[in-house]
Amino acid sequence: MEPFPEVDNVCAIAIDLPGYADLITANAYAVGSRAFTLIDTAPKFPGAFETLKARLEQCGRDLGEVERILFTHGHVDHFGLAATIRKELGRPVPCFIHAEDARHVTAETYRETMFNESGERLMAMVDMPPEEVEKISERFSLFTSLCDPVLDVETMEEGDVFAGEDYELRVIHTPGHTPGTCCLYETRRKILYSGDHIIKHITPNPLFELRKEILRNPDYQSLKEYIRSLEKIREVDARYVFPGHGEFIEDLPGLISSYRGHHRERMERIWKALKRQSRPLYHIIDEVFDFVPEYDGFLAISEIMVHLELLLEEGRVELVDPGPPAYYRAIG
Protein backbone atom coordinates (compact mmCIF):
# COMPACT_ATOMS: atom_id res chain seq x y z
CA MET A 1 0.00 0.00 0.00
CA GLU A 2 1.33 3.46 -0.88
CA PRO A 3 2.37 5.40 2.24
CA PHE A 4 0.22 8.32 3.32
CA PRO A 5 1.67 11.73 2.44
CA GLU A 6 3.38 13.57 5.27
CA VAL A 7 1.18 16.38 6.55
CA ASP A 8 2.06 18.66 9.46
CA ASN A 9 0.35 17.65 12.70
CA VAL A 10 -1.37 14.60 11.16
CA CYS A 11 -0.42 11.03 12.02
CA ALA A 12 -2.00 8.36 9.78
CA ILE A 13 -2.22 4.94 11.42
CA ALA A 14 -2.96 1.98 9.11
CA ILE A 15 -3.63 -1.27 10.97
CA ASP A 16 -3.72 -4.54 9.03
CA LEU A 17 -6.97 -6.52 9.10
CA PRO A 18 -6.15 -10.24 8.91
CA GLY A 19 -9.01 -12.13 7.32
CA TYR A 20 -10.52 -8.99 5.76
CA ALA A 21 -8.45 -8.65 2.61
CA ASP A 22 -11.11 -6.58 0.85
CA LEU A 23 -10.63 -3.76 3.37
CA ILE A 24 -6.79 -3.96 3.44
CA THR A 25 -6.41 -1.85 6.60
CA ALA A 26 -8.37 -0.07 9.30
CA ASN A 27 -7.18 3.54 9.40
CA ALA A 28 -7.12 5.88 12.38
CA TYR A 29 -5.81 9.44 12.40
CA ALA A 30 -4.28 11.60 15.13
CA VAL A 31 -4.89 15.27 14.28
CA GLY A 32 -3.01 17.92 16.24
CA SER A 33 0.56 18.33 17.45
CA ARG A 34 0.30 17.74 21.20
CA ALA A 35 -3.22 17.43 22.62
CA PHE A 36 -4.79 15.72 19.63
CA THR A 37 -8.08 14.39 18.29
CA LEU A 38 -8.19 10.73 17.30
CA ILE A 39 -10.45 9.94 14.34
CA ASP A 40 -11.64 6.33 14.61
CA THR A 41 -9.71 3.63 16.49
CA ALA A 42 -9.68 0.37 14.47
CA PRO A 43 -11.23 -2.85 15.85
CA LYS A 44 -10.05 -4.79 18.88
CA PHE A 45 -7.97 -7.30 16.92
CA PRO A 46 -5.08 -9.01 18.74
CA GLY A 47 -2.14 -6.61 18.59
CA ALA A 48 -4.13 -3.69 17.17
CA PHE A 49 -3.87 -1.60 20.34
CA GLU A 50 -0.10 -2.10 20.50
CA THR A 51 0.19 -1.13 16.83
CA LEU A 52 -1.81 2.03 17.47
CA LYS A 53 0.44 3.08 20.36
CA ALA A 54 3.64 2.25 18.47
CA ARG A 55 2.58 4.24 15.42
CA LEU A 56 1.71 7.24 17.59
CA GLU A 57 5.16 7.06 19.18
CA GLN A 58 6.78 6.97 15.74
CA CYS A 59 4.91 10.19 14.99
CA GLY A 60 6.19 11.78 18.19
CA ARG A 61 2.92 11.51 20.08
CA ASP A 62 1.85 9.82 23.27
CA LEU A 63 -1.52 8.12 23.60
CA GLY A 64 -1.98 9.93 26.90
CA GLU A 65 -2.30 13.21 24.99
CA VAL A 66 -5.50 12.22 23.20
CA GLU A 67 -8.10 14.89 23.93
CA ARG A 68 -11.13 13.31 22.26
CA ILE A 69 -12.13 10.52 19.88
CA LEU A 70 -14.44 11.08 16.90
CA PHE A 71 -16.15 8.09 15.29
CA THR A 72 -17.01 8.47 11.61
CA HIS A 73 -19.78 5.89 12.15
CA GLY A 74 -20.88 3.10 14.42
CA HIS A 75 -19.15 0.00 13.06
CA VAL A 76 -16.75 -2.10 15.12
CA ASP A 77 -13.77 -1.53 12.83
CA HIS A 78 -14.05 2.19 13.63
CA PHE A 79 -14.83 2.29 17.38
CA GLY A 80 -13.65 -1.12 18.61
CA LEU A 81 -10.56 0.05 20.55
CA ALA A 82 -12.11 3.12 22.20
CA ALA A 83 -12.95 1.39 25.49
CA THR A 84 -9.47 -0.17 25.56
CA ILE A 85 -7.88 3.26 25.14
CA ARG A 86 -9.95 4.70 27.98
CA LYS A 87 -9.05 1.79 30.24
CA GLU A 88 -5.34 2.20 29.47
CA LEU A 89 -5.46 5.92 30.26
CA GLY A 90 -7.65 5.58 33.32
CA ARG A 91 -9.86 8.48 32.32
CA PRO A 92 -13.10 8.90 30.32
CA VAL A 93 -11.76 10.33 27.04
CA PRO A 94 -14.78 12.07 25.42
CA CYS A 95 -16.08 10.09 22.43
CA PHE A 96 -18.36 11.60 19.79
CA ILE A 97 -20.57 10.11 17.09
CA HIS A 98 -23.55 11.32 15.10
CA ALA A 99 -26.80 10.82 16.99
CA GLU A 100 -28.20 8.44 14.35
CA ASP A 101 -25.38 5.94 14.97
CA ALA A 102 -25.05 6.31 18.74
CA ARG A 103 -27.11 3.19 19.44
CA HIS A 104 -24.51 1.03 17.68
CA VAL A 105 -21.59 1.94 19.94
CA THR A 106 -23.59 1.89 23.17
CA ALA A 107 -25.06 -1.58 22.58
CA GLU A 108 -23.83 -4.29 24.92
CA THR A 109 -23.22 -6.47 21.89
CA TYR A 110 -22.88 -5.51 18.27
CA ARG A 111 -25.28 -8.28 17.28
CA GLU A 112 -28.13 -6.62 19.19
CA THR A 113 -28.27 -3.75 16.75
CA MET A 114 -27.27 -5.47 13.51
CA PHE A 115 -28.61 -9.00 13.18
CA ASN A 116 -31.62 -9.49 15.40
CA GLU A 117 -35.24 -10.40 14.72
CA SER A 118 -35.40 -7.71 12.03
CA GLY A 119 -32.51 -9.31 10.20
CA GLU A 120 -34.04 -12.75 10.47
CA ARG A 121 -37.33 -11.46 9.04
CA LEU A 122 -35.47 -9.93 6.11
CA MET A 123 -33.70 -13.21 5.42
CA ALA A 124 -37.07 -14.99 5.40
CA MET A 125 -38.48 -12.41 2.98
CA VAL A 126 -35.62 -12.96 0.51
CA ASP A 127 -35.81 -16.77 0.93
CA MET A 128 -32.29 -17.28 2.21
CA PRO A 129 -31.62 -20.94 3.12
CA PRO A 130 -31.32 -21.68 6.87
CA GLU A 131 -27.68 -22.73 6.56
CA GLU A 132 -26.80 -19.37 5.01
CA VAL A 133 -28.70 -17.52 7.74
CA GLU A 134 -26.68 -19.43 10.32
CA LYS A 135 -23.43 -18.37 8.66
CA ILE A 136 -24.50 -14.73 8.84
CA SER A 137 -25.51 -15.08 12.48
CA GLU A 138 -22.10 -16.56 13.27
CA ARG A 139 -20.39 -13.71 11.43
CA PHE A 140 -22.19 -11.04 13.43
CA SER A 141 -21.58 -12.91 16.67
CA LEU A 142 -17.87 -12.77 15.90
CA PHE A 143 -18.05 -8.98 15.77
CA THR A 144 -18.79 -8.87 19.49
CA SER A 145 -15.17 -9.84 20.16
CA LEU A 146 -13.89 -6.88 18.13
CA CYS A 147 -15.28 -4.11 20.30
CA ASP A 148 -16.46 -3.05 23.73
CA PRO A 149 -19.41 -0.68 24.17
CA VAL A 150 -18.89 3.04 24.73
CA LEU A 151 -21.78 3.65 27.08
CA ASP A 152 -21.40 7.41 27.59
CA VAL A 153 -20.83 8.51 24.00
CA GLU A 154 -21.61 12.15 23.15
CA THR A 155 -23.33 13.16 19.92
CA MET A 156 -22.21 15.44 17.12
CA GLU A 157 -24.19 17.04 14.31
CA GLU A 158 -23.72 18.65 10.91
CA GLY A 159 -21.57 21.79 11.17
CA ASP A 160 -20.08 21.06 14.59
CA VAL A 161 -16.43 22.06 14.87
CA PHE A 162 -13.72 20.38 16.95
CA ALA A 163 -10.68 22.61 17.21
CA GLY A 164 -7.23 22.50 18.73
CA GLU A 165 -4.24 24.81 18.76
CA ASP A 166 -3.25 23.93 15.19
CA TYR A 167 -6.31 22.31 13.58
CA GLU A 168 -10.04 22.65 13.02
CA LEU A 169 -12.30 19.71 12.12
CA ARG A 170 -15.77 20.41 10.73
CA VAL A 171 -18.44 17.71 10.80
CA ILE A 172 -20.16 16.92 7.48
CA HIS A 173 -23.09 14.53 7.91
CA THR A 174 -22.98 12.07 4.99
CA PRO A 175 -25.65 9.40 5.57
CA GLY A 176 -25.79 6.35 3.35
CA HIS A 177 -23.29 3.76 4.52
CA THR A 178 -25.07 4.19 7.85
CA PRO A 179 -27.65 6.83 8.84
CA GLY A 180 -25.08 8.56 11.06
CA THR A 181 -21.97 8.37 8.87
CA CYS A 182 -19.94 11.59 8.98
CA CYS A 183 -16.90 12.95 7.18
CA LEU A 184 -14.57 15.36 8.96
CA TYR A 185 -12.99 18.23 7.04
CA GLU A 186 -9.78 19.75 8.35
CA THR A 187 -10.14 23.28 7.06
CA ARG A 188 -6.53 24.46 7.43
CA ARG A 189 -4.84 21.60 5.56
CA LYS A 190 -7.84 20.75 3.34
CA ILE A 191 -8.00 17.09 4.30
CA LEU A 192 -11.26 15.19 4.20
CA TYR A 193 -11.41 12.27 6.64
CA SER A 194 -14.01 10.14 4.92
CA GLY A 195 -14.51 7.01 7.04
CA ASP A 196 -16.37 4.50 4.88
CA HIS A 197 -18.12 7.14 2.78
CA ILE A 198 -15.22 7.34 0.32
CA ILE A 199 -12.74 4.47 -0.19
CA LYS A 200 -10.29 4.24 -3.07
CA HIS A 201 -10.14 0.52 -3.87
CA ILE A 202 -13.75 -0.54 -3.33
CA THR A 203 -17.16 1.05 -3.74
CA PRO A 204 -18.59 1.63 -0.25
CA ASN A 205 -21.87 -0.14 0.36
CA PRO A 206 -24.92 1.81 1.55
CA LEU A 207 -26.32 -0.67 4.08
CA PHE A 208 -30.01 -1.50 4.13
CA GLU A 209 -31.45 -0.12 7.35
CA LEU A 210 -33.36 -2.78 9.25
CA ARG A 211 -35.02 -0.50 11.83
CA LYS A 212 -36.20 2.60 10.01
CA GLU A 213 -38.91 3.24 12.57
CA ILE A 214 -36.34 4.47 15.12
CA LEU A 215 -34.65 6.93 12.73
CA ARG A 216 -35.42 10.63 12.48
CA ASN A 217 -36.69 9.94 8.97
CA PRO A 218 -38.70 6.68 8.91
CA ASP A 219 -38.69 6.86 5.09
CA TYR A 220 -34.88 6.74 5.01
CA GLN A 221 -33.42 5.02 1.93
CA SER A 222 -29.72 4.20 2.18
CA LEU A 223 -28.75 4.46 -1.48
CA LYS A 224 -30.75 7.63 -2.09
CA GLU A 225 -29.10 9.27 0.92
CA TYR A 226 -25.68 7.99 -0.12
CA ILE A 227 -25.99 9.56 -3.58
CA ARG A 228 -27.09 12.84 -2.01
CA SER A 229 -24.13 12.70 0.36
CA LEU A 230 -21.73 12.11 -2.55
CA GLU A 231 -22.98 15.25 -4.25
CA LYS A 232 -22.69 17.12 -0.96
CA ILE A 233 -18.95 16.51 -0.74
CA ARG A 234 -18.13 16.57 -4.46
CA GLU A 235 -17.24 20.26 -4.28
CA VAL A 236 -15.27 20.07 -1.03
CA ASP A 237 -11.86 21.60 -1.61
CA ALA A 238 -9.89 18.53 -0.53
CA ARG A 239 -6.16 18.32 -1.11
CA TYR A 240 -6.30 14.74 0.15
CA VAL A 241 -9.01 12.33 1.23
CA PHE A 242 -7.94 10.08 4.12
CA PRO A 243 -10.38 7.12 4.22
CA GLY A 244 -11.28 4.53 6.83
CA HIS A 245 -9.62 1.76 4.82
CA GLY A 246 -6.81 1.48 2.30
CA GLU A 247 -4.92 4.25 0.50
CA PHE A 248 -5.39 7.99 0.47
CA ILE A 249 -7.20 9.68 -2.44
CA GLU A 250 -6.36 12.77 -4.47
CA ASP A 251 -9.07 12.82 -7.17
CA LEU A 252 -12.28 13.09 -5.16
CA PRO A 253 -14.61 14.18 -8.03
CA GLY A 254 -13.30 11.42 -10.30
CA LEU A 255 -13.85 8.74 -7.68
CA ILE A 256 -17.38 9.97 -7.00
CA SER A 257 -18.17 9.74 -10.71
CA SER A 258 -16.97 6.13 -10.77
CA TYR A 259 -19.22 5.34 -7.80
CA ARG A 260 -22.26 6.73 -9.61
CA GLY A 261 -21.48 4.55 -12.63
CA HIS A 262 -21.10 1.50 -10.42
CA HIS A 263 -24.52 1.98 -8.82
CA ARG A 264 -26.24 2.54 -12.17
CA GLU A 265 -24.72 -0.70 -13.46
CA ARG A 266 -25.73 -2.60 -10.31
CA MET A 267 -29.29 -1.34 -10.56
CA GLU A 268 -29.53 -2.49 -14.17
CA ARG A 269 -28.29 -5.98 -13.23
CA ILE A 270 -31.02 -6.29 -10.60
CA TRP A 271 -33.70 -5.07 -13.02
CA LYS A 272 -32.60 -7.49 -15.74
CA ALA A 273 -32.51 -10.42 -13.30
CA LEU A 274 -36.09 -9.70 -12.22
CA LYS A 275 -37.10 -9.18 -15.85
CA ARG A 276 -35.95 -12.69 -16.68
CA GLN A 277 -38.01 -14.23 -13.87
CA SER A 278 -40.10 -13.05 -10.91
CA ARG A 279 -38.57 -14.56 -7.78
CA PRO A 280 -37.32 -13.91 -4.23
CA LEU A 281 -34.20 -11.77 -4.05
CA TYR A 282 -31.83 -14.42 -2.70
CA HIS A 283 -32.17 -16.24 -6.01
CA ILE A 284 -30.80 -13.37 -8.09
CA ILE A 285 -27.51 -12.96 -6.18
CA ASP A 286 -25.46 -14.92 -8.71
CA GLU A 287 -26.80 -12.77 -11.56
CA VAL A 288 -26.12 -9.49 -9.76
CA PHE A 289 -22.63 -10.18 -8.38
CA ASP A 290 -19.65 -11.73 -10.09
CA PHE A 291 -18.45 -13.15 -6.77
CA VAL A 292 -19.73 -13.15 -3.19
CA PRO A 293 -17.29 -14.32 -0.48
CA GLU A 294 -18.51 -16.85 2.05
CA TYR A 295 -20.30 -15.18 4.99
CA ASP A 296 -21.06 -12.05 2.91
CA GLY A 297 -24.58 -13.09 1.99
CA PHE A 298 -26.02 -10.35 4.20
CA LEU A 299 -24.01 -7.67 2.40
CA ALA A 300 -25.16 -9.01 -0.98
CA ILE A 301 -28.82 -8.92 0.07
CA SER A 302 -28.35 -5.51 1.66
CA GLU A 303 -26.97 -4.07 -1.57
CA ILE A 304 -29.79 -5.60 -3.62
CA MET A 305 -32.35 -4.16 -1.19
CA VAL A 306 -31.05 -0.58 -1.32
CA HIS A 307 -31.10 -0.63 -5.13
CA LEU A 308 -34.52 -2.28 -5.13
CA GLU A 309 -35.92 0.61 -3.07
CA LEU A 310 -35.03 3.03 -5.86
CA LEU A 311 -36.32 0.70 -8.57
CA LEU A 312 -39.64 0.44 -6.72
CA GLU A 313 -39.79 4.22 -6.29
CA GLU A 314 -39.07 4.75 -9.98
CA GLY A 315 -41.82 2.28 -10.94
CA ARG A 316 -39.41 -0.10 -12.68
CA VAL A 317 -40.08 -3.00 -10.28
CA GLU A 318 -43.19 -4.09 -8.43
CA LEU A 319 -43.97 -6.42 -5.55
CA VAL A 320 -45.97 -9.38 -6.83
CA ASP A 321 -46.39 -11.38 -3.62
CA PRO A 322 -45.53 -9.97 -0.14
CA GLY A 323 -44.70 -13.46 1.14
CA PRO A 324 -42.66 -14.54 2.92
CA PRO A 325 -40.83 -15.09 0.72
CA ALA A 326 -41.55 -11.94 -1.29
CA TYR A 327 -41.62 -12.04 -5.10
CA TYR A 328 -40.66 -9.07 -7.27
CA ARG A 329 -40.78 -8.51 -11.00
CA ALA A 330 -39.42 -5.91 -13.37
CA ILE A 331 -41.77 -3.63 -15.29
CA GLY A 332 -41.21 -2.36 -18.83
Domain that holds residue 302: 273-330
For residue 33, the Cα-to-chain-centroid distance in whole angstroms is 28
223 lies in the same domain as 88? yes
Q: For 53-94, what is each residue's pLDDT tens digit?
A: 999 999 999 999 999 999 999 999 999 999 999 999 999 999
Q: Which residues contact 49 (CB under 8 A, 6 or more apart)?
A: 81, 84, 85, 88
50 within domain boundaries: yes
1 within domain boundaries: no
Mean pLDDT of 176-197: 97
Size of the chain in residues: 332
Q: For 262-283, what is each residue's pLDDT tens digit?
A: 999 999 999 999 999 999 999 9
21 within domain boundaries: yes
Q: Does residue 231 register a pLDDT over 70?
A: yes
112 lies in the same domain as 152? yes
241 lies in the same domain as 305? no
243 lies in the same domain as 314? no
Tell me the C-alpha to C-alpha distance, in Å, between residue 249 and each of 76, 163, 199, 296.
23, 24, 8, 26
151 within domain boundaries: yes
251 lies in the same domain as 311? no
Q: Tell how strand 317-321 and strand 240-243 pair up.
A: unpaired
109: phi then psi, degrees, rounded to nearest 5: -135, 145
pTM of the full predicted structure?
A: 0.95
Pick the last residue of a domain from 229, 258, 287: 258
Q: For 91-131, what is each residue's pLDDT tens digit?
A: 999 999 999 999 999 876 554 555 667 888 899 999 999 99
pLDDT band at 289 (very low <50, low <70, confident <90, very high): very high
CATH label of the domain that carries residue 160: 3.60.15.10
pLDDT band at 200 (very low <50, low <70, confident <90, very high): very high
In the DSSP assignment, the letter for residue 140 is H
- Look at residue 115 in the predicted model and tell me its pLDDT: 60
Q: Strand 36-39's sheet: what is its strand order?
A: 10-16, 25-31, 36-39, 66-70, 95-98, 154-156
Q: Does residue 242 register a pLDDT over 60?
A: yes
4 within domain boundaries: no
**55 and 13 Cβ atoms separated by less than 8 Å:** yes
61 within domain boundaries: yes
Pick the last residue of a domain from 202, 223, 258: 258
Pick the last residue of a domain from 235, 258, 281: 258
- Look at residue 27 in the predicted model and tell me its pLDDT: 97
The domain tally of the chain equals: 2
